[in-house]
Amino acid sequence: MGIRVRSTLLDALEWVDYAFQPAGEAPPDDVAYGHQRHSATVVDDEANVPPKSCESDGIIGLGARPVAVYTADCLPVLIADTQQRRVAAVHAGLKGTLAGVLERAVIRLCEAGSSPDGLYVAIGPAIAPCCYELGEEMLSAIAPTLSGSQPSCWHREQPHNPLAVRPQAKATRNGVWFDLPQLATLRLTAAGVPAANIENVSFCTYCMAETGSSYRRNTHFNSGYQSRFSWIRRRGG
C-alpha cells in the first residue's frame, strides 16, 4: 500500500470522487485517459475509450466515467467544475504547462457554460522545488514564455523539505530550483481561477512519495519508476 494523498478542496465537494493513486497501482476499470505527449490537447472522455485511443494531455469527464492522467514527476491536475458538474484530469509537466494545457482545460470546461471562478483545482504529487533543478540554459529558454511574475517560480538556493523521507536531489548543474506547481498556479489564476480555489498538495515525488515514484530519481539512482494514476469522476450515474 502506498501513501494516500488527499485534497481538502476536492474532499469538500460531495459530488466528486477522485484519487491520487500510489505509483504502480492500476486505475479503475472504466477509466478514460489519453496517449500523453506533453501537448496542450484536451479532449472529451469518449475520445479515449478505450484508453490511449488518441493523443491528449487533458481529458474532460462529461458523465460518471472517471478520467485520468498518468505521471511520474509531472503535475497531475484534477479539476472539478461546480457549475456544470463536469471534471477534468490534466497532465501538466513543464512543457505542457508552457504550451497552455491548463488554460485549454479551463476554456473547454467554460465552453459548456461555466466560469473559471466555479472551478476547483487540486495539484497532486509531483516533483517539488526541493528536488527539481533546472539548468540555467533551460531557464533562459523558457523565461520568454513566462509572464512577469516568473521569479516566484524558482529559487537560487535549494529549498529544504522538512517532510522528506529520503534525501533530496543533489545539485548537479549549478542551476535553479524550479517550482512547477507554482507556475501552474500562476497560469490558472491568469486564466481566471481564484487562488483560493487552487490547492497544491505539496507532495514531492522525489523525496516524499513511495519508492519508484520519480522519473528523475530513477535517472540519478537507476531506482526504477512506475506511473502514478490520478483520476476524478462525478459520483452517481
178-210 core/surface letters (b: 16 or more CB in 10 A; e: else)? bbbbbbbbbbbbebebeeebbbbbbbbbbbbbb
CB 126 within 8 Å of CB 181? yes
Is position 204 an interface residue for Zn ion (rule: CB under 5 A)? yes
Given CA atoms 235, 47, 188, 113 in this order, what sign does their dihedral have?
A: negative
Nearer to Zn ion, 53 or 161 (CB): 161
Is position 110 an interface residue for Zn ion (rule: CB under 5 A)? no
Nearer to Zn ion, 82 or 161 (CB): 161
CA distance 212 to 228: 10
Is position 72 an interface residue for Zn ion (rule: CB under 5 A)? no
Is position 131 an interface residue for Zn ion (rule: CB under 5 A)? yes
CB 41 within 8 Å of CB 57? yes
* Residue keyed to cell 460531495: 14
Judged by CB under 5 A, the chain residues 142 through 171 that form the site for Zn ion are 161
- How many residues line the site for Zn ion (CB under 5 A)? 7
Q: How far is the CB of 81 from Zn ion (least distance, A)?
A: 31
Is position 130 an interface residue for Zn ion (rule: CB under 5 A)? yes
Judged by CB under 5 A, the chain residues 207 through 236 that form the site for Zn ion are 207
Report the interface residues with Zn ion, using CB under 5 A: 128, 130-131, 161, 204, 206-207
